[in-house]
């Protein structure tokens, strides 16, 4: 999925590139249960790496953080250095669809708000081989929270991510893909608004007048605002679920 340059201008320097929080990352880690001392972790679609830093701090492990947008990786490297975590984080520019790591390279494979680029089933299935026996998979994914979403929300997701499904269907997909589910939960609304949408809305207020004569930029801004408004009006019908599962051997 190729994103327009103005999208990255909107999202530049944002703390996160999707809904989430350190609290939710840590809650998911607790579901994983005991991990090896200093585990090897792969963070797929890391963005600027808020959760990467949290994983490194919480586990003491070595986190390989993968993304295809180099400015995000540069931002992560700078934040890791500022936090004294440079030796614990390896930024790597690589597509999640073409990971060349050997089988069984990691104790933990993690991806917050990014598996939709491949699809939940495809990502969970493809990344299983990267886990050591008994290794842990952590994924956050958009889900329906009702069987009867409003028509406007349905139309929005049909255009943005038609593969969105329910929590129960994703749990079944994990089981069929060779995992034993350890737990799951729905991210709170604050993970959407405080950690993601409100900073974007503040950036839009700055960028709109600067690009008043650029129809392409204004279209990107309108799409971003539409997404925020959609959640404000219909966020009770959809959300992000965090799934934590163990490779079942």
Per residue in 88-141, pLDDT tens?
999 999 999 999 899 999 999 999 999 989 999 999 999 999 999 999 999 999
DSSP classification of residue 83? T
Under the phi-then-psi rule, with left for phi > 0, alpha for psi from -120 to 50, and beta for the rest, what region is 33? left
Residue 8 has pLDDT above 90, yes or no: no
| pLDDT tier for residue 1 given thresholds of 50, 70 and 90 | low
Residue 2 has a pLDDT of 61
Q: How far is CA 32 from CA 27, 180, 182, 241, in A?
A: 9, 11, 7, 15
Nearest-5° Cα angle at 66, 27 to 244: 25
Residue 5 has pLDDT above 90, yes or no: no
160 or 244: whose pLDDT is higher? Answer: 244
| pLDDT tier for residue 7 given thresholds of 50, 70 and 90 | confident
Could you list the beta-strand ranges (E) of 55-96: 62-67, 89-93
How far apart CA 31 and CA 41 sit, in angstroms, is 16
Alpha helical stretches, state H, 83-164: 120-127, 151-160
How far apart CA 47 and CA 12 sit, in angstroms, is 10
**Mean pLDDT within 154-161:** 94
* pTM, 2 dp: 0.93
Which among 172, 187, 165 has a CA at the least distance from the CA of 119?
A: 165
Residue 101 has a pLDDT of 96
State the burial class of residue 68 (Cβ atoms within 10 Å of its Cβ: 0-12, 13-18, 19+): middle
**Mean pLDDT within 8-28:** 91
Q: How far is CA 169 from CA 4, 123, 151, 200, in A?
A: 32, 15, 21, 31
| pLDDT tier for residue 195 given thresholds of 50, 70 and 90 | confident
Please state, for a pLDDT cut of 90, what percent of the chain lies above it: 88
**Mean pLDDT within 185-195:** 95
How far apart CA 44 and CA 140 sit, in angstroms, is 11
How far apart CA 132 and CA 128 sit, in angstroms, is 9
Task: Please give, one letter per residue, the 3-state secondary structure of 198-223.
Answer: HHHHHHHHHHHHHCCCCHHHHHHHHH
How far apart CA 117 and CA 102 sit, in angstroms, is 22
């Amino acid at each position: 999925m190729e994103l327009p340059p103005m999208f990255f201008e909107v999202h530049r320097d944002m703390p996160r590139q999707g809904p989430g929080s350190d609290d939710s990352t840590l809650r998911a880690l607790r579901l994983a249960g005991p991990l090896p001392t200093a585990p090897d972790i792969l963070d797929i679609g890391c963005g600027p790496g808020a959760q990467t830093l949290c994983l490194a701090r919480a586990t003491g492990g070595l986190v390989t953080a993968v993304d295809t947008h180099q400015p995000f990786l540069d931002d992560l490297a700078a934040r890791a250095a500022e936090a004294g975590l440079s030796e614990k984080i390896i930024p790597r520019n690589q597509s999640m669809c073409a990971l060349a790591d050997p089988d069984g390279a990691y104790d933990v494979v993690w991806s917050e708000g990014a598996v939709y680029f491949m699809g939940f089933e495809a990502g969970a299935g493809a990344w299983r081989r990267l886990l050591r026996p008994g290794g842990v998979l952590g994924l956050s994914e958009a889900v329906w929270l009702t069987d009867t979403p409003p028509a406007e929300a349905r139309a929005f997701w049909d255009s943005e991510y038609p593969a969105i499904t329910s929590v129960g269907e994703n749990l079944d997909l994990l089981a069929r893909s060779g995992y034993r589910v350890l737990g799951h939960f729905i991210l709170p609304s604050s993970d959407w608004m405080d950690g993601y949408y409100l900073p974007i809305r503040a950036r839009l207020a700055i960028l709109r007048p600067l690009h008043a004569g650029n129809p392409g930029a204004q279209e990107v801004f309108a799409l971003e605002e539409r997404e925020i408004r959609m959640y404000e009006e219909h966020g009770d019908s959809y959300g992000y679920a965090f799934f934590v599962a163990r490779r079942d051997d």
